[in-house]
Amino acid sequence: MSNTAADQSAIRAVLQAYADAFSQLNTAAVKRVYPGINETGLKASFGGLKSQQVAIVNEQFVNLTDAQATVTCTWQVASVGVVGGQNRSSQRTTIRLQKTNGTWLIVERR
């Protein structure tokens, strides 16, 4: 029996931690919730930023089982580059998560 409400709330917490890690430009924190991320690419992209605010909004559970989840959401970013210049973007994103040893982790984002 799936504990859907608890799982949804745990997944929302992971997505929030993921967005917060991006807002803090914190590679290690991103890796904690998304172990498979390309760390080198992430460090390089964070290196070009002075600051960044990320918000995940309109999340919808497309699929949720005991061990897998697919969530679509809008990934909103407001960033300031090291060389100046502000950038705002908002894109529809699909995030896949997997539950391992009772912990939800991100396995893919596209």
- For residue range 55-73, what is the model confidence (pLDDT) as tens digits? 999 999 999 999 999 999 9
Q: Which residues contact 108 (CB under 8 A, 6 or more apart)?
A: 36, 95, 96
What are the tens digits of pLDDT across the range 4-52?
A: 999 999 999 999 999 999 999 999 999 999 999 999 999 999 999 999 9
Strand 68-81 relative to strand 86-100, pairing: antiparallel
19 closest CA partner among 49, 57, 68: 57
Pairwise CA distance, residues 58 & 49, whole Å: 26
What is the predicted pLDDT for the residue at 1? 44
Question: Could you give the domains of the chain?
Answer: 4-109 (3.10.450.50)
Q: Would the pTM count as exceeding 0.85?
A: yes
